[in-house]
Structures are given as structure tokens and as C-alpha cells.
Amino acid sequence: MFEGYDTTSIALCFLLMMLANEEYHQNLVYEEIMEVLGDRTPDYNDLNNLNHMERCIKECLRLYPSVPMIGHVAGEEIQTHSGYKIPKDCQIQLNILDMHRNPNVYDNPEKFDPDRFLPENSRSRHPFAYIPFSAGPRN
């Protein structure tokens, strides 16, 4: 019944912390909200027009993923592309926090830079280089 609340609240706390420390992006998010919403209550369709806010959320989840590690037990023997064999029943841990801070994928990986998620900057990035909630197209 309560799954998702803790990860959502953690993500919101980190987002507020990042925006509090990044006045430039804080102002851009505020201006975007005022431009899109003005004084009215937001609706679901407004989300498509809050592009800078979406990039800030994605960048925050890159730096501080709500689920920093995920595990899996291999159901069968797996051979990786690089030739490693993972035996059946082996526990596999994926460190998402370190993946998201890989300098081979992200320039200045410790820096808060929402523009990493502009279409022209993320187009060539491997689709699984950013997996804040595991893998899938909605990340």
C-alpha cells in the first residue's frame, strides 16, 4: 500500500535541496511554472510544457537515485558481451549511483547540469546509462 512514497519523498527532498543550491536553475523553474501556469491550478497536460523542470528532476535523480542499488539472482548461466560468465543462482548487484556518475558517460559527473537531458545532449547516450528506477522507456 505504501510502496513508492519513500522513494518519491526522497527524490523531492533532493530536488528541493539541489534547487535551493542552484539559484540559476531555481529561477528558470520558477519562471517556467509562472509562464505555463500563471495563477491557475495545474493539470496533467501542463507536464508536457515544464521542460526545464523535467530536466532538473532527471538530473537530480541521476545524482541521487531514489533506489541507488538493485539486485537480481541469475535464473540461468549468463555470458556477458565481454565474455564473463555469471553462474546460475549468482546474486548480481547493480550500483546505479556509480553508473550515473561515470565520467565516461557524463562530463563533470558530480556537477548538477539539467541540460544533460536536452534532446541534443542525450540522443547519443546509451538508453541504459540513466536508470533511476531500473530500466524501461519511462525513465
Instruction: Please state the domain extents for the chain.
Output: 5-122
Q: What is the pTM of this model?
A: 0.87
The number of residues in the chain equals 139
DSSP letter at 74 equals -
Helix or strand holding residue 93 (H, E): strand 91-95
Q: Torsions phi, psi of 114, nearest 5?
A: -60, -25
Determine the Cα–Cα distance for residues 65 and 61; give it in Å rounded to an integer.
4
Q: What is the pLDDT of residue 66?
A: 87
Q: What is the pLDDT along the chain (139 residues), one digit of tens a residue?
A: 456 677 888 899 999 999 999 999 999 999 999 999 999 999 999 999 999 999 999 999 999 998 899 899 999 999 999 999 999 999 999 999 999 999 999 999 999 999 999 999 999 999 889 998 776 555 5
Nearest of 60, 50, 52, 67 to residue 20 by alpha carbon: 60
Q: Torsions phi, psi of 71, nearest 5?
A: -125, 160
The answer to whether 18 and 10 are in contact (CB under 8 A) is no
Q: What is the pLDDT of residue 8?
A: 87
Find where cell 526522497 sits: 10
How far, CA to CA in Å, does 19 sit from each of 3, 48, 102, 106?
Answer: 26, 20, 23, 20
